[in-house]
Amino acid sequence: MLNVKEIDLVDYPVNIQEAAAKIKPYSSIGGIKVGEVGFTIPKGQEKTVEKIQNMEVGEKDVWIVTYPRSGTTWTQEILWNIRNGVNVEKSKKIDIDLKFDFLDMDFLDEIDSDGNTDTAISKFGKERNIKTHLPFSLLPKDLLEKAKVVYVGRNPKDVVVSYFHHQRLVKSSSPDLEFKDFVGLFMAELIKEDPYAGNIKEAWMKRDHPNLLFLWYEDMKRDLPAALRTISAFLGKPLTEEDINTLADHVSIDNMKKNPAVNHKDRHEKGVFLAGESFVRSGVSGGWTKYFSEELEKEFDTWIEQKFKNSGIPFKYV
């Protein structure tokens, strides 16, 4: 039985309550925490999480597991191309949402025409690309025994900046929610798909499993060709040097920004996204330095020290 706890904002300081009122799900239906790590989702979605835990895993599956804004889309585009012979011209014609089944969007935010998720889950093919932001403790128990999983970790300072902009982009937060208040919600682990700490710590503890490839976003930025070689070897899909050069160019931040298949340009045109924000943003490491005041950085550093004490996780901030 999945542990479920309703979030009562009265239990939090007034400044947190005020900030939460400017962000979904608290500005609409309210939130709950489920599972061992207290995964944060809107009320009513706990049954869907249970179905995901019990879904069948295929031996040809490749999964991407991340906390939001940790390089997920970037890694999706890389994995799809490696699995499909680095056909970048074909890749440009296929929307990223068709390349990967996104558990969180497909099943946590939407239900099928029958009013449940059973049909939606069963429609998946046999050689699947799947991505999720759920922590390992809420994923199928036999996931790593059957499928290959790529986990991408990113330092919490750059993550919180990127997630702040993403929440604005998808209109899940009020445009007047200030960054410092968003950081407060992040530390309180009240943002949808929190907690960051629980997510990355669970993955780090499994990093030596042969079916798990743990990557750091910052290492991928520092030496992308080396990362491509590592990923292709993990998937059993060796690349030529020409493939590596072609793919590295295709997934460069400049080309990702210009590629409608990954930047969701159509959602901007339809007004789904907030003007002034972008899905593929800066893609840099160390951009957090432009956002944190000295006082906020000290507070955040204290939170990091408390949350990751004795974890041995080697965060990289540049």
Would you say the C-alpha torsion 215, 217, 223, 224 has a positive or negative sign? positive
How far, CA to CA in Å, does 143 sit from each of 102, 139, 146?
16, 7, 6
Please give the DSSP secondary-structure letter assigned to residue 273.
S
Active site residues: 133
**C-alpha R_g of the chain:** 19
- Sign of CA pseudo-dihedral 206, 210, 212, 217: positive
Closest among 34, 27, 30 to 5, alpha carbons compared:
34
Tally of CB atoms within 10 A around 238: 10
Contacts of 36 (CB under 8 A, 6+ apart): 3, 137, 198
Sequence letter at residue 102? F
In SS3 terms, 205-225 reads as HCCCCCCEEEEEHHHHHHCHH
**Cα distances (angstroms) measured from residue 26 to each of 39, 55, 60, 108:** 15, 29, 38, 16
